[in-house]
């Protein structure tokens, strides 16, 4: 075996994806608001792109001729210098900043108080020593958005003692600062648990419910006893066993459980700092003269065109050679490709949505029970595109329909066989399960097997385990736990 450097010729095929193809896929993936921001950056960075104003789309404006005057170097801008400036001076290129356009609205976030701020304001109002305030801050830092304490007391004590030592090193003189103990933490926890909202600072659901009942002065009620003394049986809805245990009728136990169910299992979410998510529909479906029409909701999307001024300059091949020529060619090609990619995105979205409307017409007419099963592959085969392309088009996109604002993914679901030979959408099956449970006799709720039999009468073949899976996804309890006495 010889060692050293050797040269070999190898012939092989490799799949290389053009960077522009990646960018085209990104454009398909972008929701409307993200696309607006992306086009704004393209306008600022490429001098060959300019904004087409709405009035220019409708009717060309003819300017009155101005009297000619002798042109001087001061009157005429140096277009060559501007063009070769890599598009950094966007104002010189005639490109307007979209922030000045009436169609563009800059999102403004509104500051709101979250749970941590709300609790901290209450702690500031308490008569606490500086030492207690430091421990309280450690507690507030370990309370989650739902209001529950997320760390054991031992960990909180270790954390606050570490902070204490760090500050003690900075204190001059021989000062002995006592460490916090577990008893200190337990006393502070009782203070934190008196704050609003009731139940905050609880370590589990049982403690959360007990705190709420205690703040309502209901310690002498059956509801309080059930949570404190019979938590496991209460969770399992064992009304008869609990009735015998407390010497009561099962109906009375169930009424107490209904009162417990009215308590807030996640009190901290009342002051959640989650921002409102504003959704702008990418597509609109309207019924006009008994036909459903699909429109793109892109009025706020800037219209792009090639800058005539820069095109005229680029045609003068004598001025630009070498690196300058390469730069101009690259920017011009990029601008042309961007305009084509935006138009391709528009056409692809319209093709996909038009097919969905044709396939799901019964849903738009009659409701979710008539939603048909649909897969990405079916759409891709019909519009002659790849399945991944359809997936990007439908991802995080919304459509405004006569049935409300819906994500495009809503229309895609698997199917179940029926006796008629057609398939029923899994989403419509879930809706029917919800309706069956809502209309059932509370004293004799439908079991999963009875739901299977009910679907069989309707010609739908569905397994009992599938019913159980859909029921769990809908957060519907089993029949035994839905039974009313």
User: Could you tell me which residues are beta bridge partners of residue 441?
Assistant: 444
**Strand-pair partners of 404:** 401
Rounded to a whole number, what is the largest CA-CA distance in the chain? 108
Q: Identify whether the C-beta of residue 356 lies closer than 8 Å to the C-beta of residue 379.
A: yes
Please name which of 155, 119, 113 lies closest in space to residue 137, comparing C-alpha atoms. Answer: 119
Residues 6+ positions from 47 with CB-CB distance below 8 Å: 82, 83, 85, 87, 90, 93, 95, 307, 310, 331
Cα torsion at 250, 252, 255, 257 (round to 10°)? -60
What angle do the packed helices 130-140 and 115-125 form, to 10 degrees?
160
Give the span between the Cα atoms of 268 and 272, in whole angstroms. 7
What is the pLDDT at residue 13?
Answer: 58
User: Which residue in this structure is represented by tokens 């004590």?
Assistant: 157
* Dihedral, CA of residue 238, residue 240, residue 242 and residue 247, to nearest 10: 180
Q: Coil, strand or helix: which one is 187?
A: helix
In this prediction, residue 17 carries a pLDDT of 44
pLDDT of residue 397: 86
pTM of the model: 0.59
Query: What is residue 426's predicted lDDT score, i.e. its pLDDT?
Result: 80
Instruction: Spell out the per-residue pLDDT of the chain, length 485, in tens.
Output: 567 676 767 766 554 444 555 555 666 667 677 777 777 777 777 777 776 655 554 444 343 444 444 444 444 444 445 444 544 444 334 444 444 444 444 455 555 678 888 999 999 999 989 889 989 999 998 999 999 999 999 999 998 888 877 766 655 545 566 888 999 999 999 999 999 999 999 999 999 999 999 999 999 999 999 999 999 999 989 998 999 999 999 899 999 999 999 999 999 988 875 555 678 888 999 999 889 999 988 776 767 777 776 776 667 666 666 666 677 777 777 777 777 777 888 888 889 999 999 989 989 998 888 888 888 888 888 888 888 878 888 888 899 999 899 998 888 877 676 666 566 778 888 888 888 998 888 888 889 998 988 888 888 888 889 888 888 888 888 888 888 87
d(CA 235, CA 78): 80
Q: How far apart are the first and last CA of the chain?
A: 87
Q: What is the pLDDT of residue 92?
A: 38
Phi/psi at 11 (5° precision): -105, 120
Q: What is the pLDDT of residue 30?
A: 72
Structure tokens at 219: 């310690």
**Alpha carbon distance 42, 50 (integer Å):** 10
What pLDDT is recorded for position 24? 58
Listed in sequence order, the residues at least 6 apart from 28 whose beta carbon sits closer than 8 Å to its beta carbon are: 345, 348, 389, 392, 393
Residue pair 98/52 in contact by the 8 Å Cβ criterion = no
| Residue 76: per-residue pLDDT | 44
Helix (H, G, I), strand (E, B) or coil at 108: coil
Which 3 state secondary structure label does DSSP give 374? strand
Q: How far is residue 17 from each of residues 23, 25, 329, 433, measured CA to CA in Å? A: 11, 11, 21, 46
């Amino acid at each position: 075996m010889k060692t050293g450097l050797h040269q070999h010729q190898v012939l092989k095929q490799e799949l290389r994806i053009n960077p522009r193809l990646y960018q085209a896929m990104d454009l398909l993936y972008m929701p409307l608001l993200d696309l607006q921001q992306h086009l704004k950056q393209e306008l600022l960075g490429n001098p060959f792109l300019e904004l087409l104003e709405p009035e220019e789309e409708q009717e060309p404006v003819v300017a009155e001729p101005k009297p000619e005057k002798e042109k001087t170097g001061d009157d005429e801008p140096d277009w060559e210098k501007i063009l070769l400036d890599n598009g950094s001076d966007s104002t010189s290129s005639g490109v307007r900043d979209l922030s000045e356009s009436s169609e563009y609205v800059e999102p403004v976030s509104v500051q709101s108080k979250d749970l941590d701020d709300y609790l901290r304001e209450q702690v500031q109002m308490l008569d606490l020593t500086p030492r207690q305030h430091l421990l309280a801050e450690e507690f507030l830092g370990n309370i989650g958005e739902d209001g529950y304490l997320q760390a054991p007391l031992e960990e909180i004590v270790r954390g606050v003692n570490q902070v204490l030592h760090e500050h003690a090193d900075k204190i001059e003189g021989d000062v002995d600062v006592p460490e916090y103990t577990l008893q200190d933490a337990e006393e502070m926890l009782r203070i934190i648990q008196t704050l609003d909202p009731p139940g905050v600072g609880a370590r589990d659901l049982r403690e959360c419910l007990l705190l709420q009942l205690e703040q309502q002065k209901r310690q002498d009620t059956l509801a309080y006893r059930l949570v404190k003394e019979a938590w496991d049986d209460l969770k399992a809805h064992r009304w008869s066993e609990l009735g015998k245990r407390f010497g009561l009728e099962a109906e009375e136990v169930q009424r107490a459980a209904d009162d417990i169910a009215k308590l807030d299992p996640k009190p901290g979410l009342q002051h959640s700092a989650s921002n409102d998510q504003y959704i702008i529909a990418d597509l609109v479906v309207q019924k006009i003269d008994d036909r459903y029409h699909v429109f793109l909701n892109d009025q706020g999307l800037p219209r792009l065109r090639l800058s005539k001024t820069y095109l005229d300059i680029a045609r003068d091949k004598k001025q630009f050679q070498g690196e300058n020529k390469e730069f101009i060619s690259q920017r011009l090609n990029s601008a042309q490709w961007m305009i084509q990619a935006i138009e391709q995105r528009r056409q692809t979205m319209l093709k996909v949505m038009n097919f969905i409307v044709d396939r799901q017409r019964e849903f738009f007419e009659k409701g979710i029970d008539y939603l048909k099963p649909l897969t990405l592959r079916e759409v891709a085969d019909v519009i002659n595109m790849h399945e991944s392309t359809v997936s990007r088009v439908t991802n995080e996109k919304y459509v405004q329909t006569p049935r409300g604002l819906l994500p495009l993914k809503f229309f895609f679901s698997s199917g179940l066989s029926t006796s008629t030979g057609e398939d029923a959408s899994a989403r419509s099956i879930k809706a029917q399960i919800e309706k069956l449970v809502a209309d059932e006799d509370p004293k004799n709720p439908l079991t999963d097997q009875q739901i299977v039999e009910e679907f069989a009468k309707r010609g739908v073949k569905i397994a009992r385990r599938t019913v159980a899976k859909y029921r769990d996804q809908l957060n519907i309890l089993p029949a035994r736990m839905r039974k009313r006495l």
